[in-house]
């Protein structure tokens, strides 16, 4: 195998030198064509720009329904938080969580998730529980109550 028989790679390819006079063949307009928006310096037109015509995403009518106004959002609390902020035998309610500053807003209620471990016996009253959270609370000797 010889060096000249190797296939050309991008590293060996020389860059195009534009704007170096008329003799180079890429002088004057520097491969930007004649006039127009794209010939100007700093010209970058977004891919979705359609030359001032009303864009496609605005011409197509709105469809569907989003329930954001009426959706139920829960204040979320993890088992690790319950373990950190409460003592053995305490009763956990949304009001207690809010008064202690553990949750900021009650929103549509409180949901208990199973992130972390629980080592204390707690009576937890909340609007929703994840199934794993219920099993973890009951394994530690606590109780769950759906409000």
Domain region containing 112: 75-146
> Nearest Cα to 30, choosing from 13, 38, 45, 12?
38
pTM for this one? 0.54
Distance between alpha carbon 129 and the CA centroid of its chain, in Å? 25
pLDDT, tens only, 94-134: 888 888 888 888 788 899 998 888 888 888 899 999 999 99
Say if 27 falls within a structural domain.
Answer: no
Q: How many domains does the chain have?
A: 1
Q: Report how far residue 90's alpha carbon sits from residue 142's, in angstroms, rounded to the nearest whole number.
A: 10
Could you tell me the strand order of the sheet in which 123-126 lies? 91-92, 123-126, 143-146
Q: Is residue 50 part of a domain?
A: no
Kindly report the number of other CB atoms within 10 A of residue 129's CB atom: 20
- What b-and-e string marks burial along 68-107, b requiring 16 or more CB atoms within 10 Å of the CB? eeeeeebbebbbebbeeebeeebebbbeebeeeebbeeee
Provide mean pLDDT across the span 32-43: 85
In a domain, residue 125? The reply is yes
Residue 139 lies in a domain: yes
pLDDT in tens, 85-103: 888 888 888 888 888 888 8
86 lies in some domain = yes
Q: Which long-range contacts (CB under 8 A, 24 or more apart) does 133-142 make?
A: 133/79, 136/79, 137/79, 137/112, 142/118
Please indicate, yes or no, if residue 19 is contained in any of the structural domains.
no
C-alpha neighbours within 13 Å on the C-beta side of residue 45: 10
Q: What's the pLDDT score for residue 54? A: 92
For position 106, which CATH number holds? 3.100.10.10
Whether the per-residue pLDDT at 5 is higher than 80: the answer is yes
From residue 63, alpha-carbon distances to 53, 66, 72 in Å are: 22, 10, 22
Q: Is residue 65 part of a domain?
A: no
């Amino acid at each position: 195998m010889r060096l000249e028989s190797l296939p050309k790679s991008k590293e060996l390819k020389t860059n195009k030198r534009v704007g170096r006079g008329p003799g180079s063949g890429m002088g004057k307009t520097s491969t930007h064509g004649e006039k127009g928006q794209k010939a100007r310096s700093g010209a970058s037109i977004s891919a979705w720009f359609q030359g001032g015509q009303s864009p496609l995403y605005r011409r197509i009518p709105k469809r569907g329904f989003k329930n954001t106004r009426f959706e139920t959002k829960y204040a979320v609390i993890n088992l690790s938080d319950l373990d950190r902020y409460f003592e053995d035998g305490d009763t956990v309610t949304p009001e207690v969580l809010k008064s202690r500053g553990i949750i900021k807003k009650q929103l549509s209620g409180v949901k208990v998730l199973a992130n972390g471990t629980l080592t204390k016996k707690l009576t937890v009253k909340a609007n929703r529980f994840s199934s794993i959270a219920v099993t973890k609370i009951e394994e530690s000797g606590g109780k769950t109550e759906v409000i």
